[in-house]
Amino acid sequence: MPISRRATLGLIAVTPAALQLSSCARSETPAVAPDATAEAMKRFDDQKFGLFIHWGLYAIPAGVWKGKYVRGIGEWIMFREKIPVAEYAQLAKQFNPVKFSGEEWAQLAEDAGMKYMVITSKHHDGFAMFKSEASKYNIVDATPYGKDPMKDLSAACHKRDIGFGFYYSQDQDWHEAGGRGNDWDFPKERDAQPYLEGKVFPQVLEILSNYGTLELIWFDTPGLLSDRQVTELRDLVKSKQPGCLLNSRIGHNKGDYVQTGDNAIPIQVYTHEGKWEVPATLNDTWGYKANDTHWKDPRDLIGKLADIVSKGGNYLLNVGPTAEGVIPEASQNILRTVGKWLSVNGEAIYGTEASPLWFPDITWRATTKPGKVYLHILNWPGESLRLEGLESTVNKAYFLANKAEVPVKKDGTALVFTLPAEPLDINNTVLVLEIADEKPKVAAGYGARELPNRLDLYAWIARLRGEEIRYDFASRSATNFRKFDLERNELYWYNYGALNGNYAVEVEYACENPVAGSVLRVGTGPLSTPSESKAVAKVEGTGGEFAVKKLDGSIVLGEGHNVISLGLPEDDKSAAMRVRKITLTKV
């Protein structure tokens, strides 16, 4: 079970004098006791599932500026439209979230089975969602609401033993001349140190001091900060709360755990770089957008939770409340559906370890505890499930939900389970294997880090990038590859060191004959340009039936080439094609 961490609510008062903490004093803070971070990491690893909340002034325009719909994620509207600071700041005069309830938000997290929460204290727009003496640009001093919602929310989380943490944008701040990102109001060249000294360090000290014990601070986009500046920031946090975890986006490898890219799930088990977390959204945006009702199916979210945990990660799932302080009802219902599944199957998620086996397809995922393997059956295979590579003797197999025993027999290197015709739970039916060994024994060639030279990457494990792209469970394929200048619709797979070398590419897709003809590209590279190496082909009509096509060329995977993208780079005539998977074969 996760270690309990109820916080003391006798909060430390922060005085204006304390906010003038000098750079010299910060750099002389004592080294952190490593056991505090280790204990926090164990708790974090056991928790597995958290609630991310993006809430700020951007919830007022909600994706529309001066009558114009703005593509892209909602909290970036100031940047996308180059809104002047003075104009954007006027939103604060309208911000009055009278329907906010910290108790309701914390209860939603508990109902959803989430063990920790992270909320935006200051996003890139520079507005503080808490009372700050360092900047009057905050929810208490600049809005008619005039209260600090983080007080109520942190107290409500601590009461429920939900770990509480803050997001804080440490380098990118469009409200400040010394912050990064705003080159329409300020010169591109900037000196970050005065900004750090005057705003970042004092505000980080405030959130460390005034809201009880913090589970973590979730920093973002370190940008151009130096190693020294990042070290100073880390030392400040650890000197005040040694057990407060820091994600890798603090910069310069100073984090306690790895932060993946947004919505970026590794293609296979990923444990060789330590603990990691996937930040992901419940729809297409992070901050609230009124027209974004593309809510993810609970089946997809429950499957993604099992997928991420089975690969060694945590799942931080985001909601964007309205400017009134309401988490949209549809997203609440979806999260509570996930929570109902966890109330029955949480044993197979919380406190588990990653799969000892690699995954050949999207039929199942696996988590483990001493003496047990949990098979998460995500796509029901019919009346038989064949599991290759597990050598441990299975003393008993049964469904976690109803404890009904499941017949199993050995067939060479495989275990074959006899299943009912229909799943117990379409979202994820968990099959428990009680094994004779404390840790599973795995046959050579089937271990999590022994990937074959030919591997299928399914659309379901890819990031659906863009607002229009959709996934269909019936055909297990993605479609609607619409082309836009900003965020074209593509599939992104994240390698994270699983595969290295040159690979030939095949694509399994279906396309109606009248819309065939676009160029299909599978490329790799860094996140900003995932097409440095590429394989291409013309989309041919398949009469709407799924077929496999080999692409011309090859792709490179390895250092600097960890993102695999699939899209239509020239035109979207064939946008309605349905892509089920790509197959990579080492050459």
CA angle 450, 453, 455 (to 5 degrees): 90
- pLDDT category at 475 given cuts 50, 70, 90 is very high
Percent of the chain past pLDDT 70, that is, above it, reads 94
Whether 527 shows a pLDDT value over 90: the answer reads: no
Query: How far apart are alpha carbons 335 and 303 in whole angstroms?
Result: 13
Given this model, what pLDDT does residue 413 score? 86
Given this model, what pLDDT does residue 314 score? 98
Residue type for 523, please? G
Whether 77 shows a pLDDT value over 80: the answer reads: yes
Tokens of 178: 């010394």
Q: What mean pLDDT do residues 11-26 have?
A: 33
Q: What mean pLDDT do residues 147-176 have?
A: 98
Q: What mean pLDDT do residues 348-375 have?
A: 98
Query: How would you list the strands of the sheet with 429-435, edge to edge?
Result: 364-369, 372-377, 429-435, 394-399
> pTM of the entire structure?
0.94
Residues 6+ apart with CB under 8 A from 252: 222, 225, 226, 227, 230, 231
**32-46, 85-99, 160-174, 467-481 — which is least confidently predicted?**
32-46
The ranges of the chain annotated as CATH 2.60.120.260 are 454-586
- pLDDT category at 30 given cuts 50, 70, 90 is very low
Whether 152 shows a pLDDT value over 70: the answer reads: yes
- Tell me if 97 sits within 8 A of 87, measured CB to CB: no
pLDDT tens figures, 383-412: 999 999 999 999 999 999 999 999 999 998
Q: What mean pLDDT do residues 82-107 have?
A: 98
Give the CATH fold of the 364-435 domain.
Immunoglobulin-like (2.60.40)
- Tell me if 462 sits within 8 A of 478, measured CB to CB: yes
pLDDT tens figures, 95-126: 999 999 999 999 999 999 999 999 999 999 99
The ranges of the chain annotated as CATH 2.60.40.1180 are 364-435
Whether 2 shows a pLDDT value over 80: the answer reads: no
* Region 21-348: CATH code: 3.20.20.80
Q: What mean pLDDT do residues 92-97 have?
A: 98
> What is the chain's mean pLDDT, rounded?
93
* Region 454-586: CATH code: 2.60.120.260
Query: How far apart are alpha carbons 583 and 85 in whole angstroms?
Result: 48
Tokens of 361: 């397809």
Tokens of 429: 């039916």
The SS3 assignment for 278 reads strand
- pLDDT category at 33 given cuts 50, 70, 90 is low
For residue 313, what are the CA distances in angstroms to 135, 327, 461, 469?
Answer: 36, 26, 14, 25
Query: How far apart are alpha carbons 432 and 549 in whole angstroms?
Result: 38
Given this model, what pLDDT does residue 18 score? 35
CB atoms within 10 A of CB 6: 11
Query: How far apart are alpha carbons 574 and 579 in whole angstroms?
Result: 11
Residue 90 is given by DSSP the state: G
Given this model, what pLDDT does residue 22 score? 31
- pLDDT category at 5 given cuts 50, 70, 90 is very low
Query: How far apart are alpha carbons 209 and 202 in whole angstroms?
Result: 10
